[in-house]
Each structure stands twice: as structure tokens, then as C-alpha cells.
Structure 1
Amino acid sequence: MTSLFVIEANRVLLNQAEGEPKLIEGGITGDSFSLIHHFYRGWIPFGYLRDVQGVWWFDGRKTKVTLVSRSADEFRVLDDDYGLDAKRVYLEDQLIPDSDAASFELLPGSPYFAKDKHRLYVKSGDRFHTWDDIDVETAVARMDYCTDKDHVLHLYQSLSYANGSKDELLGWLQEAYPHVQGWWQPEYNESEHGAERIQGYWYRTDQAVFYCEEIGGSGRSRNETRQIYNLVRGADPASFKVLNDQYGHDAAGVYCTWSKVSDADPQTFEALGGLFGRDAQNIFYNGYAVTGTDCDTFQCLLTSGSLGLSKDKNHVYHAQFVRTSRPFGHPDYVLEQISGADAKSFAILSDNGSRAVDQDHVYQWGGLAKKLDRASFTYLFSQGVESWAYDKHGLYNANGRRTVKGMDGQTFQAFNRYWGKDENNVFCFITGGIQRAADAATFHVTDETGRAEDASFTYVITDEGTIKKSKKK
């Protein structure tokens, strides 16, 4: 028994640094009480406790327990995050669905990765997710890298493919895992050596299909690029067909870049443009089925980029970087409904999707722009990455989600893609700034190539994007 807890009248209490012991809420009793494991985050204790009812997770922030497992005698703790009974694995007080306790293990060489016979488990700080696209038999880790026989993965905020880092791990893998048949072995069967282009980013050899990325250099070699061949695991090169730059299929499956699309029918699947696709039953985005769509009325409104703007007769959708499944699916770009958007009246105003409206709202980069007034909102134009609009409250640049300080939206008027003004100020769209020396009362444009004048000066937009100001004679 540790002094961290005390038993009084069959109740469990937490000893505090100051004051009387505090009752632990949640239902744990003193009957057969014991401490299985505890640790501290800062000065707050957490851990697993046991009583006659089973195993409890203790949260020191709330001074409360949650019953985790009835299998108290078989319960074991691997580290501060994972607890296991005979069949299941828990992340603190949460059951990890479909986990297998018998095969679950921490991967040596890293504090971040664990695996069982089904998948990889990724834990860093307060972030946790699972990863299914892994060959668990050959999965090994080195700090924030994890690799299997085909792919390298890297952990930053979430796990992502990092096959461009293979050279960094090659020597270590050859020395530490010479007995594992993976991409670091000369006799690896699915090497990209000799791969020939099928179409676009897709390549193949006699034994494998690859999706090729071009990665830019850095430092002195920043103008150079190199090709990274990502194995399309399981794809049959003999029957593989390219659908577009993102999707392909063979006789048995559909692939989005180098990942297999779950539950997609290769016989009816078609690419809709960009990351959109469909089969006879579902709409897909970035390789993930979109729930709740009406397939017959679904429209891709913007196939380029990663906004994913689209709609059906009931909902408007955009891409969000969220969990691909609940509760612990890995994060990626998936299509989700824009809450409250009116599908019938929703329309994109700018080519890049920076501005859109429905009958009641304005949307910016796929999200609701709560501060913009729909009744007075006017989209002007997009120029490169800049996108300009105004309402009665002000003038806006969508690239930086910026309100131009000092401009009055109620009196603003745009002359062309170079100039605009309100009652008191002249604004240049090219420089993105107010021209405080210009006289708004007399300012007007003189042609459509950037020339303008006021009572005292002429103004010319140069090829370098600056303003040449000259005094009138």
C-alpha cells in the first residue's frame, strides 16, 4: 500500500500535499484495494488501481476513477499509457477497438510505436492513433521513424509516409535487421529498379506498381528534384489500369496514390477528377468513402487543390484534416459536411475556392466566415494567390484572411484589378496597401493597365509591381 492512497470506512481517498485526504469518486472501494501502476504528469498522479470489482483508471485531475476491466488478476501494464487484460488493450481508460492483447508489444528503439497482429499503434504526448497500412511482421522502429518491408513512415504531429528518407535508415537497417526481407535488402522482390512509366505518376515493373512523387531539394540543391517511388502494395502490374493522376485499379482493388481504397468496387469505380471518385455504391475522396452522400445528385464543385468543395441535394462538403475513423483512426483529409450550408444555393465565386456563398452565409476556404455580411458581400477577383472581396464592414484579402485596416466597406468601390477607393483613401490591389498620399476625392483610373491620376499626380503600375508616382506639369 502506498501512502498516495488511504482507506477509510471502505472508501479510497487520495492523500494530498496539503489538507485532508480527498474522496476518490467513481465507485472504487477499499475491498481488496491495491495499486497496480502509477505515474505523474507534472505533480498530478495517474494510474491503474484494483479492488474486488476489477481494474480502474485513476485520473488525478478529477480525483475520479473509471472501471476498465473485470479481469483484475490478468491485468498488466506495459508503460504509462497501455494496460492489457487477457484479450483487450486499453489506452488509459479507453478500450482500443479490435486490439489483440496476446500479440501486443512495444516496438524497441522508439517511445512512440507499438503493434499487434493487426496494426500499428502510435502515441506521442496526448496524441494517439492507429495505422493499418503496415506489414506487422516486418515493422521496426527507430525514434520517430517506423518502417516495414515496403514503406518508411515518419511521426510528426501524426504519422505519414516518408519513403524519401530511406537513405537515412538504410545502413542502420542492414546492420540491425539483416535477417528481415525488406526494401533495404539487395534481393527485395518489389524494388523500383527498371520501372517504366504507365501514365502520369504511375510506374510498374514486372512484379510491382509504383506511384512516383517528385520532391524538391533544399539548400544548394533546392532547384533539383528527385523521384520517390512508393510501392502500391498488393497491386497487380499485369491488370493495373490508370484512371487519373490519383486513382488506378487492378482486377481486385482500387488504389488512391499508393494506398488501397477500402470497400471500393474495381469493376464500377470511376475517377471524378482530383481526389474524387465513385463506384456503384459510394462517393470517395482521397481514398475514403464519404458517409451520407446522395450519389445520384453528387457534384464535384472544385476538383483541383485540397479544399474538396462539393455538394449533393442535401449537403455541402469540404475536406478536413481529421480522424479517418472513430475513435482512433489516423488523421488525413476526408470529406465532411459543412454544417448549416444550403446545398441548393451554394456556389463557388473564385476559381481557387477561396470565396463561396449560399443564400445566408459567406464561406472562406471552405469554412464559414462568420464576420462577413452576406447581404453586402461582393467578390471582386482573384490574382495569383490573392483573392479580394468587400462587404459593408471592410475590404478583405482571402489569402491571409486579412481585413485591410483603414478601408471603409460602405463607401468602397473597385475600379479594376489595380485600384479601388473609399470616401477617404485610395487602395492599390497590386501592392496590397493604402496610398495615403493620393487624393481620394479626385482619384480616378485612366486606362485598364494600371494608370491612374488625381488632381496633382499620375500613377503607373510598373512591371515589378511597384507604383511610379509623377507630379503633373
Structure 2
Amino acid sequence: MQVAFPAAILFFASINYSDTMWMKPETILSVKDQPAGNVYYLIPGQGVCYNSYPVKRADIDSFMWYLDFAKDKNRCYIAGNVLKGADPGSFEVLNMYFARDKDQIYTAAGMQQKLDPETFEVLDEGFETDMHNRKRKITSYAKDRQGLWMMEYYSLKPTFVKGIDMTSFSRINDSFAKDQQFVLWRGKKVKNADPGTFTAFNINYGRDNNHIICQDNILAVADYETFEAVATQITLAKDKNRYYRFGDEIPKAEFTELRDQK
């Protein structure tokens, strides 16, 4: 089972960041003054930096950034790396994972020629803001004329999710989504789950009229009537017979210790 993290519900919506979102890099004296989080800075003697790493050949006067993307009069960047072929004059940020110019869509892997730029649309921001006001990547969806695309924290380029009906597609929370035929967990179809009756306990556990579900699997051993997820620890659940962490059975003592951790 994969580890997942809590996040707020994101709604099925188109995002488009205008030029007003672009920011100039903040000047800090050294990397020791750098707050947590991924940000572009101007450090005397090093020029423009992405965190502590210099952005090679960046033009300081025209450099602007938003999320992991940036541009100056000559080039476009993601995480401090040049996006080859991107046009600074028309470059815009779509969400945490995607940007575009007048011709193409870009991710951390560069130009994405499999995506159709004329119909491409992101369906969420691709991040949530945590209690420390830091932006954290989450499972993200986008669409074009071909259908649904998915990105995750370590994704460099999008994964196509086959067979999804975009007219009925909707997000349930940061991990679960559905269309009229399938329940999805992080872009993976949950075999035999019923989208018409599915509800999520949290980002790891859910149920339909016949099954308890953990991530992208049916939890066949679970007692349906007594199953409950732990509100304060999204990895944990229990029923009258067993205790679970990410759907795997664990001893009661381990469950209790994990549940009571602060």
C-alpha cells in the first residue's frame, strides 16, 4: 500500500493563472536565510536561485516566478531548469504541474507533445496549502480531447487514464475520484467498486453498497457493518475482528500506539 497524506477537497474546475500571479524573487543574504518550501530567491554573489541552487544564465532584471515555474526575457524554467523550446512571451502557469505557451503544454519533463494544447485544461490547482502556508503537491487531473490525464508528486509527465467518461468525472477528495463506471484512487481504477454508491471515509478508505475499499483495493476481509476509519489517523481503521494500517492487518497494541500518537 502507498503512503498518502491528508488534504482538503478540490472541486472539478478549470484553473488559469494570469500574469498577475508572477512574482519577482525575494532577496536573501544566504541560503541560511531561506524559509522552508520551494521558492526562487535572489542571493548576492549567486544571482537567481531555486532554493539553494543557482538558475544558470537567468536574467535578473526580467526574472519572474510562480509555483515551480519561472521565466525571464530569454527562457522559461521549472524548478530552476530550462524548459527547452518554451516561449517566454506567451508562457503562463496552469497549475503546480503544468504550464503552456502559445504552442505547447509543459511539465517538469519538458514539452508534452502527447497533449493536445487546443483542448487541454487543468482540473485543479495541483497543490494544497498546509498549516505552515506551504504549497504541497497532490494528485492532479487534467483533460484534453483524448480524455483524462493524471499527475502525482513524483510525476515528470502525465499518465493517461483510459476509459474515463469526462462528462461524469468528478473528484471526491485528494485521492478518490469517479465517473459513471469507475471509482479511481490516484488515477487507478478500483476493481468492482460501484461509483454510484461510493463514499469516502478519508483519502485512504471508502465504501460502496457492497465493499470496504482501501486505496485502490477491495478490503475483502473487512467486516462491512462494523468497519470504521480513525478520524485522527488516516492510515488506520478497524472493525469488530481486525485492526488495519493502510489496509494491512496489524495487532491491537500497534493500532492503539499509532492511534494515540500526537
Alignment of 1:240-259 (within 5 A): 240-242=63-65, 244-259=66-81
Unaligned 5+ residue runs, structure 2? 1-27, 128-136, 231-235, 243-257
2:149 matched residue in structure 1: 317
Alignment of 1:58-457 (within 5 A): 194=30, 201-204=39-42, 205=44, 208-212=47-51, 229-242=52-65, 244-286=66-108, 288-302=110-124, 303-304=126-127, 305-319=137-151, 333-350=156-173, 352=174, 354-369=175-190, 371-374=191-194, 376-382=196-202, 386-398=203-215, 401=217, 403=219, 405-408=221-224, 422=225, 426-430=226-230, 432-435=237-240
Contact kept, 8 Å, 2:205 with 2:214, in 1: the verdict is yes
CA offset at residue 207 of structure 1? 5.6
The one-letter amino acid of 2:219's match is T
Contact kept, 8 Å, 1:428 with 1:435, in 2: the verdict is no
The one-letter amino acid of 2:238's match is G
Distance 1:246 1:435, change over 3 A: same
CA offset at residue 232 of structure 1? 1.3
Structure 2 counterpart SS, 1:284: strand
Distance 1:345 1:314, change over 3 A: farther
Q: Deviations over 1:78-118 (max 9, x none)?
A: xxxxxxxxxxxxxxxxxxxxxxxxxxxxxxxxxxxxxxxxx
Structure 2 counterpart SS, 1:337: strand
Identity of aligned residues (%): 21
The one-letter amino acid of 1:333's match is L
Q: TM-score, normalised by structure 1?
A: 0.37
Q: Deviations over 1:257-281 (max 9, x none)?
A: 1111111111111112212211111
Give the distance between the partners of 1:347 and 1:288, measured in 2 at CA. Answer: 28
Distance 1:280 1:201, change over 3 A: same
CA offset at residue 288 of structure 1? 2.1
CA offset at residue 392 of structure 1? 4.4
Distance 1:237 1:207, change over 3 A: farther
Give the distance between the partners of 1:270 and 1:374, measured in 2 at CA. Answer: 38
2:18 matched residue in structure 1: none
Q: TM-score, normalised by structure 2?
A: 0.64
Give the distance between the partners of 1:210 and 1:406, measured in 2 at CA. Answer: 51
CA offset at residue 375 of structure 1? 5.2
Distance 1:287 1:298, change over 3 A: same
Structure 1 counterpart SS, 2:222: coil
Contact kept, 8 Å, 1:211 with 1:231, in 2: the verdict is yes
Contact kept, 8 Å, 1:316 with 1:341, in 2: the verdict is yes
2:20 matched residue in structure 1: none
Moved more, 274-283 or 202-211: 202-211
Distance 1:287 1:240, change over 3 A: farther
CA offset at residue 194 of structure 1? 4.7
CA offset at residue 200 of structure 1? 6.7
RMSD over aligned Cα atoms = 3.3
The one-letter amino acid of 1:358's match is D
Contact kept, 8 Å, 2:180 with 2:196, in 1: the verdict is no
1:149 matched residue in structure 2: none
Higher strand share: 1
CA offset at residue 401 of structure 1? 4.8
Structure 1 counterpart SS, 2:94: strand
Distance 1:342 1:265, change over 3 A: same
Give the distance between the partners of 1:379 and 1:313, measured in 2 at CA. Answer: 29
Unaligned 5+ residue runs, structure 1? 1-191, 213-228, 323-331, 409-421, 438-463, 467-473
**Count of residues in correspondence between the two structures:** 200
Query: Whose radius of gyration is greater, 1 or 2?
Result: 1
